Every structure is written in C-alpha cells, then in structure tokens.
Amino acid sequence: MSLTVDIRRDLGGFDLHTTFDAPEGVTVLFGRSGSGKTSVVKSIAGLLTPQQGRIALDGRVLFDTAARIDVPVHKRRLGYVFQDSRLFPHLTVRDNLCYAARVSGRGSRDPKEVAALLGISHLLDRRTHALSGGEAQRVAIGRALLSEPDMLLMDEPLASLDGPRKAEILPYLETLRRETGLSILYVTHNMAEVARLATHIVLIDEGRVVRSGAPDEVLTDPDMVRMLGIRDAGAVLSATVAAHHPDGLSALSISAGQLLLPAVEAPVGAKLRVRILAQDVILARTRPEDLSALNILPVRVLAVRRGEGPGVVVQLQAGQDRLLARITRRSADRLDIVDGAECYAVMKSVAVSQTDIAVGLQTGL
Ligand SMILES: Nc1ncnc2c1ncn2[C@@H]1O[C@H](COP(=O)(O)OP(=O)(O)OP(=O)(O)O)[C@@H](O)[C@H]1O
C-alpha cells in the first residue's frame, strides 16, 4: 500500500503544509519536536481535519477537500499505535487483542499467531495493568494488527520506553515488517530507530517536507546532517554475513569489501543493515599499516561540508554505498581532503554494536 499526502492546516499560527508519498515498506517521518509530525499522522487517521488537501491510500481517497470527501476515522482502515499503549486495564491481553478485531469487523487473523509474532503468547491471560512498558506496547501493536489495517500508523511507539526496552521491541518491529508485509508510517525523532527500520525517509521541519528518499541517500546527505543531528549522523550499509571467526569477530561483505565486527547474531548468508556513525570513521590518504583498527576501506570523497565549528562532514563513495566521516577542519586541510580525493576510511570493529545492526532488512525493500 502506498500513501499520498498533500495537506494544509493552520494550527494557531503554525502552518502545516505537508506533501509526501509513503511507498510500500516503512516510511519514517522524522523531525524535531514541534515540527508537525503528530499533526500529519492525526490528519491521516482522521483525528485532525486539514483545511485543504488530499490523502489517498493506493486508489482509495480518505480525504479530499475538492471532492468533499472525509472518510470517518473508523472507516479509514488504518491501525494507530500511540506513544502510550492505551490498553484497557480491566481486560486481559487476549481481550485487548480481540477488541480491535471485533470493532473493525475485519478480524480474520488469528490472535494467537499475532501474539507469537510479537512474543506475547505467554501473556495472553494476564491483565494489562501489570505489564511492563515494552510488553504493553507489543500488545498495542498486536491490537492494531488484528484490526487488519491497510496501513499502520505508529507515532513514536518507543518514546516512553528506556534504552533496554527499546532494544527489546525493535527486533519485533523488524519481524513485523518482514512477515506481514504491512506498510507502516513510523514517526520518530530517534535516529537509531530510523537507521534500523526505515525503507523510506521523510524529513519534516516547521510543517514542511525538506527532504525525502531512500535511507542510504537521505542519511548520507551532508546537507541534512544538521537536521539529523551531528552526533547521530551516519550511514546505513547493506551487508551479508560472510563468516564467524573463532576469535569472536564476524566478517560481513559489503559493496566496498569486508567489515569485521564483534560477533553478529545472525547465520552466514543473512542479510543485514549496519549503521556506521560519521564520528566513528577516520580518514587516511595512504593505506595505514600497523593499526589496531581492523576495517580499512578504499573510498573516494564526494563532498566536504564545513560547518561553523572546527568539524567538517565528508561524504564518501565506498563501493556502491555511501559513508559519512566527521573529522576536524584542521585534518581535512592537512590531508587535502577535497572532492574527488582517493583515501581510506578506517573504522574500529568495536564501534558498531548489536543495536546498530538490523537482521533481515537491507537498505531497500
Ligand atoms: N490543535 C492544535 N491547535 C493549535 N496548535 C497546535 C495544535 N496541534 C498542534 N499544534 C502546534 O503545531 C505544532 C506541531 O505540533 P505537532 O504535535 O504536530 O509536532 P510534533 O513534530 O509531533 O512534535 P513532538 O515530537 O513534540 O510530538 C506545534 O507548534 C504545536 O504546538
């Protein structure tokens, strides 16, 4: 399912004027606090009425001011997962799961299957007030799935969870996407979630779309670094597990060669996406010898962006992929890092952790 959105609404001086397409897959709507993300999602869900515009899901028009169409919320066939789980505390997990299916009247999916997919089978008879935040959120996702929506809208579904709980849920979201094929519009301002889940990214600022496209293009666009956050800037690379070595390292094939990382929990042949932060990439003009860092890739400089501070962001071509490196202006001058320069990108193996790796999901669909 692909969604097209073109809406305009004045929110007390805030001019929401957002136009984008969300193709099949996981489209991440990313922007800082107050950029208009929730207002966009509410408009799609039918909870906020734009003054002007059109919203359509494949051929099905949900909203169109010109044609005077405004499909009511319950007939839009969209699943909505909020920041907080909003479960019924007096009902069991099973009853919470079945509720949406009953209300939507589209419940042909087996709740047990959905519970298994989300790792909540052992919780079915529990009341929801005693669930952990991560468990409750998985039940909320299951409930949305059981209404058999044409698309799932997820508005910062992990924002209320701490780091370990986020890490617990992310693999389920990856499985969900892979196994149900359901298209998802996913709102977040967390870059780790973007890097792990997105198959398409829409960047929004002050109610307007400033950039959209595939993650490997958008995330390595040096002009977007400021908006994405300099500390979080980095690339996502598609990789395949090539070998697991007895010394605890795994070898991954990427288009530019090989990466050695701490043991990756995936079998040989598994497809992965790996996030490499710009601040973890060092540049050298000649191939370094006698270095402890194990990953040295030949790269070509595509662009150099100088900021106001002492740092520069360097966009690099590494095989078919793009990388970003963040180095000092002083080093860039000393090493003559200019457009077209051939050099080597150096990365420590331990710089990439398990949370930077998504299994079974490459940068495309
Ligand atoms: N019903 C409303 N009436 C007036 N102003 C509103 C209304 N809803 C949202 N706004 C304003 O519109 C702007 C965008 O808000 P929105 O909640 O869509 O942003 P957001 O990107 O989702 O932010 P956050 O990440 O903090 O949730 C904000 O300035 C907000 O105060």
**Residues within 6 Å of ligand 1 by CB:** 11-12, 14, 31, 33-39, 189
Nearest atom (ligand 1) to Cα of 14: 12
Q: Which pLDDT score is estimated for 42?
A: 96
What's the confidence (pLDDT) of residue 107? 62
Q: Is residue 329 domain-shared with residue 248, that is, in the same domain?
A: yes
- Which two structure tokens, joined as six digits, stand for 17? 């004027």
Q: How far apart are CA 322 and CA 300, in angstroms?
A: 10
In a domain, 342, yes or no: yes
At 223, give phi and psi (nearest 5°): -75, -15
What would the pLDDT profile of 16-40 be if each residue is shown by its tens digit?
999 999 999 999 999 999 999 999 9
Which pLDDT band, with edges at 50, 70 and 90, does 353 fall under? confident
Radius of gyration of the chain (CA): 22
In the chain, % of residues over pLDDT 90 = 65
Query: Is 155 in the same domain as 266?
Result: no
Domain end, chosen from 186, 206, 227, is at 227
Do 258 and 139 sit in the same domain of this protein?
no
Residue 365: inside a domain: no
Region 92-102: mean pLDDT is 85
User: What φ, ψ does residue 287 adopt, rounded to 5°?
Assistant: -65, 115
Res 101 pLDDT > 60: yes
Look up the CATH number of the domain holding residue 239: 2.40.50.100
Q: What is the pLDDT of residue 362?
A: 55
User: How many domains does the structure of the chain reveal?
Assistant: 2
Nearest CA to ligand 1 atom 5: 11
Q: Which residue segment(s) compose the domain that 248 sits in?
A: 234-282+290-359
- pLDDT tens profile 242-264: 999 999 999 999 999 999 999 99
CA distances 57 to 69, 76, 164, 183, 185, Å, are: 13, 9, 35, 11, 12
Q: Which of 16, 30, 37, 42 to mutate to test the pocket of ligand 1 (most atoms within 8 A of CB)?
A: 37
| Protein residue closest via CA to atom 25 of ligand 1 | 33
ipTM for the complex shown: 0.93
Whether 209 maps to a domain, the answer reads yes
Residues whose CB is less than 8 angstroms from the CB of residue 9 and which lie 6 or more positions away in sequence, other chains included: 16, 39, 43, 48, 49, 50, 51, 52
84 CA distance to ligand 1 centroid (A)?
17
Cβ atoms within 10 Å of 137's Cβ, excluding its own? 29
Query: Would you say residue 201 lies in a domain?
Result: yes
User: Which ligand 1 atom sits closest to the C-alpha of 189?
Assistant: 25
As a whole number, mean pLDDT of residues 8-14 equals 94
User: Is the same domain home to 64 and 98?
Assistant: yes
| Same domain (yes/no): 125, 185 | yes
Distance 102 CA to ligand 1 centre (A): 32
Please state, as a whole number, how many other Cβ atoms lie within 10 Å of the Cβ of residue 243. Answer: 12
85 lies in a domain? Answer: yes
Question: Could you report the per-residue pLDDT of 81-93, keeping only the tens digit for each?
Answer: 988 878 988 889 9
Same domain, 247 and 214: no
For residue 191, the surrounding DSSP H or E stretch is helix 191-197
What is the structure's pLDDT at 110?
83
Looking at residue 170, its pLDDT comes to 84
Task: Give the model's confidence band at 365: pLDDT under 50 very low, under 70 low, under 90 confident, else very high.
Answer: very low
Residue 245 sits in the same domain as residue 183: no
Q: Are residues 238 and 266 in the same domain?
A: yes
Q: State the residue for tokens 């997990």.
A: 93
Question: What's the CATH number where 138 sits?
Answer: 3.40.50.300
Q: Give the pLDDT confidence of 334-343 residue by residue, as tens digits.
A: 999 999 999 9
Query: Residues 243, 198: one domain?
Result: no
User: How many CB atoms neighbour CB 333 within 10 A?
Assistant: 11
Per-residue pLDDT at 104: 66
